[in-house]
């Protein structure tokens, strides 16, 4: 029987699995299995050639028992309602596992940014925010960058929301440029958070990172930054890939030259001194650390048994399916789940929001010190929970996060 890869059903399955260990009230589980609100908007955009196209945008808000909704906005041709709902739910638990006062939200616009000019991207960004403005705000829902969105897009969105409100509202978005309320360290936060938990996982396994081999699927912002950070720790990055394919060199890739090549060609393929390989082949390389930093459902029941890495650190959202997770756990692979491994981004987004509210800004060193404390503490709690219940780190992370949200729901009297 084929594995069900619907992301919304996957996260519901993950909730039910963790709920068993908590003896969770069925009413609370029912609340957590569905988003509180999903808004779909359509909006016209004048294109550069003078034509008008109508775009569809989505914003899902899962649960706000602990605090405002928080989660990214992606621009992608394959955005679906179920995907956005699932990602909003994962955000609730991601915030819960690292102890942030947020619930989960997520948004998306169905478009292909690679086919759009800067002007078209700006008009889409502003049109989308005008459509969802009634349900977002610094105390209600704070979006951030995600797949194919960036600091510039966040600046346009913040500006559009501010225009609609008639006053500057820097705190409505995170991941902004520094000059308009962004936080130092935000651009590397996801990668740095991931590396912090890799350090702790390696300690538990007795893995010496000096000389450890690494493969990274998804050589974008998080993937490339993780490569540099791991290289500084003495790791050897032997393979990376992007949407066009991958490259491999068992002696290790020259990362600075690779970064220049990627910047110049917009892909890592055809990098001198490397051999080509597919995204699928990269996942099965005999490396110590595998970092899936691309899209969902990359490690599945079909290929999980061939994954040879000792540590899989999920920098992407939902890269491993439930059946694949079970196979990896049974095979002794340590999977640091997405809601923990890539929580550095939302943690520093929280720091940015706090700085916006205070109108007082921290140094990059302060940001990373606070991030390290949060990530180390979260990993320790998840690891201890996994030992207590004899479960994998993913189930443990959901147990930690769901208990926190469930406690808030009960205390508030929502259920």
Convert the pLDDT of each residue in 210-255 to its tens digit. 999 999 999 988 999 999 999 999 999 999 999 899 999 999 999 9
Active-site pick, 70, 85, 94, 106: 106
So what's the pLDDT on residue 1?
A: 39
Average the pLDDT over 380-392 and give the result. 97
Q: Are strands 69-76 and 103-110 parallel, antiparallel or unpaired?
A: parallel
Task: Please say if the pLDDT value at position 163 is more than 90.
Answer: yes
Task: Please say if the pLDDT value at position 367 is more than 70.
Answer: yes
Domain boundaries, the chain: 36-181, 183-415
Q: Which CATH superfamily is domain 183-415 in?
A: NAD(P)-binding Rossmann-like Domain (3.40.50.720)
Instruction: Say if residues 289 and 212 touch (Cβ distance below 8 Å).
Output: yes
Task: Please say if the pLDDT value at position 326 is more than 70.
Answer: yes
Convert the pLDDT of each residue in 164-188 to its tens digit. 999 999 999 999 999 999 999 998 9
- Bridge-partner residues for 110, per DSSP? 76
**Equal CATH topology for 36-181 and 183-415:** yes
Residue 106 bears catalytic tag? yes
DSSP 409: H
Which CATH code, of 3.40.50.10860, 2.60.120.260, 3.30.70.330, 3.90.1150.10, is assigned to 36-181?
A: 3.40.50.10860
Convert the pLDDT of each residue in 395-414 to its tens digit. 999 999 999 999 999 999 99
Nearest to 296 by CA among 95, 147, 115, 154: 147
Structure pTM? Answer: 0.93
List strand residue ranges (DSSP E) for 9-148, in order.
Answer: 37-46, 52-63, 69-76, 103-110, 141-145
Q: How far apart are CA 296 and CA 218, in angstroms?
A: 11
Tokens 């028992």, residue? 65
So what's the pLDDT on residue 197?
A: 98
């Amino acid at each position: 029987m084929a594995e069900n890869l619907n992301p919304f059903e996957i996260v519901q399955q993950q909730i039910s699995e963790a709920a068993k260990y908590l003896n969770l009230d069925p009413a609370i589980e029912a609340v957590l299995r569905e988003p509180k609100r999903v808004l779909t908007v359509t909006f016209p955009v004048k294109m550069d050639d003078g034509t008008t196209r109508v775009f569809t945008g989505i914003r899902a808000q899962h649960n706000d028992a602990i605090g405002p909704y928080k989660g990214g906005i992606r621009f992608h041709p394959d955005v679906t309602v179920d995907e956005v709902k699932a990602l909003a739910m994962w955000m609730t638990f991601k915030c819960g596992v690292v102890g942030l006062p947020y619930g989960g939200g997520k948004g998306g616009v169905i478009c292909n940014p690679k086919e759009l000019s800067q002007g078209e991207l700006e008009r889409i960004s502003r049109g989308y925010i005008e459509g969802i403005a009634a349900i977002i705000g610094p105390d209600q829902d704070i979006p951030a960058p995600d797949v194919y969105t960036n600091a510039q897009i966040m600046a346009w969105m913040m500006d559009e929301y501010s225009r609609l409100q008639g006053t500057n509202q820097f705190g409505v978005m995170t991941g902004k440029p520094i000059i308009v309320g962004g936080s130092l360290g935000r651009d590397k936060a996801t990668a740095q958070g991931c590396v912090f938990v890799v350090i702790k996982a390696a300690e538990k396994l007795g893995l010496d990172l000096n000389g450890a081999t690494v493969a990274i699927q998804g050589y974008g912002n998080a993937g490339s930054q993780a490569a540099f950070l791991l290289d500084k720790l003495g790791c050897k990055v032997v393979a990376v890939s992007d949407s066009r394919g991958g490259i491999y060199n068992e002696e290790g890739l020259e990362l600075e030259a690779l970064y220049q090549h990627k910047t110049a060609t917009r892909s890592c393929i055809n990098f001198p001194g490397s051999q080509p390989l597919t995204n699928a082949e990269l996942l099965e390389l005999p490396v110590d650390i595998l970092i899936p930093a691309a899209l969902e459902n990359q490690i599945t029941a079909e290929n999980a048994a061939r994954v040879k890495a000792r540590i899989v650190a999920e920098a992407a959202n939902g890269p491993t399916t439930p059946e694949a997770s079970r196979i990896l756990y049974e095979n002794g692979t340590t999977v640091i789940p997405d809601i923990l491994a890539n929580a550095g981004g939302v943690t520093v987004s929280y720091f940015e929001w706090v700085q916006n509210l205070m109108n007082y800004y921290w140094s990059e060193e302060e940001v990373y010190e606070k991030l390290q404390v949060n990530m180390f503490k979260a990993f320790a709690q998840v690891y201890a929970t996994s030992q207590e219940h004899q479960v994998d780190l993913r189930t443990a992370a959901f147990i930690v996060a769901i208990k926190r949200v469930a406690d808030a729901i009960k205390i508030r009297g929502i259920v």
